[in-house]
Structure 1
Amino acid sequence: MENKKLLAPSILSADFSKLGKQIKIAENAGADIIHLDVMDGRYVPNITFGMPIIEKIRPLTKLPFDAHLMIVEPEKYVADFIKAGVDMISFHMDATIHSHRLVEKIKSLGAKAGVVLNPATPVNTLEEIIYYVDYVLIMSVNPGFGGQKFIPQTLLKVKKLKNLMETTGRTDILIEMDGGINKDNINKISREGVNIFVAGSAVFKGNIEENIKTLKENMKI
C-alpha cells in the first residue's frame, strides 16, 4: 500500500454554484477521490453541508466519496451518509463515546472506516483502534475552515504512525493528510509516506485541470 498515491479534492473550496461541473472537471483531470468536509457548528465552529447535497452530487461522478465528519455523535448519522452514497467515513474519536463500535458499524454498512488525528492529538491515542480501521486521517491544520496554512510539525506524526503500523502489523492502513497541501509541499509530504492527499484551494482556485495535473506530478516520489 505504501506506493499508492491518491489525490482527493475537497469540494469545500469549490464554487457551489458550479459544483457539479467542477466535480466533473476534477474527475476528468485525474482526481481519485472526492473529499467531503462535513461540519456541524458544534465540533468545529463552521457549518458546511450534509446528506442532501451528497445525494444530489452522487450521480454526477463515479469517484469514491470520502466524508470527514467533523460532527458530534457521528454514530447517529453514519448510516444516512452511507445511504447518500459515501464510500469512506472518518470521525474524531473525541466526538463519540464508543469508537470501536462506530468503526464496526461503518464497516458493516459497506464503507471504509477511518479515524482522525487533530494537530494536537498524539498518535498513541490510536494504539487500540488501529487494529480495526482502514485508514487514518492526519489533520495538518486545525479542522473547521478551508484555506489554512500547513502545520509542518504534523509531518512528524506520519513517521510515528508508520512505526505504530509496523508494530501492530497494520501496514495495510492508508495514511491520509488534510490541510494546507499545495504544489510546493506535496512532494515532501508524499516522501514521508502519505497515501491520500486532500487539497481544496490548491485544486479549485484557478484552473482545476492544470492544478490537478501539477499536484499529481509533484506527489510522485
Structure 2
Amino acid sequence: MLKEIVISPSLICADLCNLESQVRALEQAGMKSLHVDLIDPHFSPSMPIGLDMVGQLKARSSMDFDVHIMSTCNEFFINELVKMDVASITFHVEPTLHVEKMVQIIKEAGIKAGVALAPATSLATLDYVAKYCDYILLMTINPGYAGGKSEGMVPYALEKIAACRALLDQKNSAAKIVIDGRVSFEVMPEMIKAGADVLVAGSKSIFRKGYSFAENYQEAQSVIAKTLKGE
C-alpha cells in the first residue's frame, strides 16, 4: 500500500478579500485539509488573519482546519481554537516554556496536536515530546518573510526532513511530518523521499498563477503518484 501524502493549501496565499469563495473553490477542487496560519507581530512581521476570521470560515466549510500558531502567546490561541473544534493545532517550540503542557491541553480537547520548528531550531527539542505528537511541522523558510525576493527554501531543508524522519522512527513516534515553506512542484519529490507526509501548498503550487485550483491540485497529485511509484 502506497504512503498517503496530503496536500494542505495555505490560506494566507489565497485572495484575502475573498476568503470564503476561495475556501469553497479549494474544497470543490478536492482538497480536504486547509492550512491556517495565525501569526502575531511579536513572532513574525506579518498578521494577515485573525481568530474571528478563522471562526467564521470554519462555520462555512467542511474542510479540516489545521491551524499553525506563530505567536508568543500560544496558550491563549490554543484555548480559543479549542472552542472552534478545529482538526489540529500546531504551535512553535521557540517561544514556549511548557511544550508538553501545550500538547496535553490540545489532546485533552480531542484535537490533534503538533509542534513546529523554525528552520534553524534543532530537532533535539523533540526528544521528549515526539511520541506524544500527531504532527511535527518543519518550516523550510523563515516564518513571515515569504514575500522577500531573496527568501528561498533554506539549503539544509531536505537534510532536516530526513533527520526528523530518522528521529521519529527512533522514538517510535507515529507523528506525521508537515513541510511548510516554498513547496513547489519541482521540490515535492525530494521532500517526499526525505520523509514528508503533509505538504503545505502555497504560491509555488496550489496557488500558482495562470491555473485553477483544480488544475494545480491535479498536478500535485500527479507529482505525488509518480514519486511514490519511483518514477
Same fold judged by TM-score > 0.5? yes
Between structures 1 and 2, the one with greater helix share:
1
Question: Retained in 1: the 8 A contact 2:38–2:47?
Answer: yes
Question: Retained in 2: the 8 A contact 1:36–1:67?
Answer: yes
| Alpha-carbon distance in structure 2 between the residues aligned to 1:18 and 1:73 | 28
Q: CA deviation at 1:4?
A: 2.0
TM-score normalised by the chain length of structure 2: 0.89
Q: CA deviation at 1:68?
A: 0.7
Aligned to 1:149: 152
Q: CA deviation at 1:73?
A: 2.1
1:161 aligns with 2:167: no
| Alpha-carbon distance in structure 2 between the residues aligned to 1:145 and 1:63 | 27
| Alpha-carbon distance in structure 1 between the residues aligned to 2:96 and 2:6 | 28
Q: Which protein has greater RCO, CA pairs closer than 8 Å, 6+ apart? A: 1
| Alpha-carbon distance in structure 1 between the residues aligned to 2:125 and 2:2 | 22
Which structure 1 segments of 5+ residues have no match? none
Question: Retained in 1: the 8 A contact 2:103–2:114?
Answer: yes
Q: CA deviation at 1:125?
A: 1.5
Aligned to 1:109: 109
Task: State the identity as a percent.
Answer: 30
Alignment of 1:1-221 (within 5 A): 3-147=3-147, 148-170=151-173, 172-201=174-203, 202-206=205-209, 207-220=212-225, 221=228
Question: In structure 2, do the counterparts of structure 1 residues 49 and 131 end up closer, same or farther at CA, with 3 Å as the change threshold?
Answer: same
Question: Retained in 2: the 8 A contact 1:7–1:198?
Answer: yes
Moved more, 121-130 or 202-211: 202-211
Count of aligned residue pairs for this structure pair: 220
Q: CA deviation at 1:182?
A: 1.2
| Alpha-carbon distance in structure 2 between the residues aligned to 1:7 and 1:32 | 8
Q: CA deviation at 1:2?
A: 8.1
| Alpha-carbon distance in structure 2 between the residues aligned to 1:142 and 1:64 | 25
Which structure 2 segments of 5+ residues have no match? none
TM-score normalised by the chain length of structure 1: 0.93
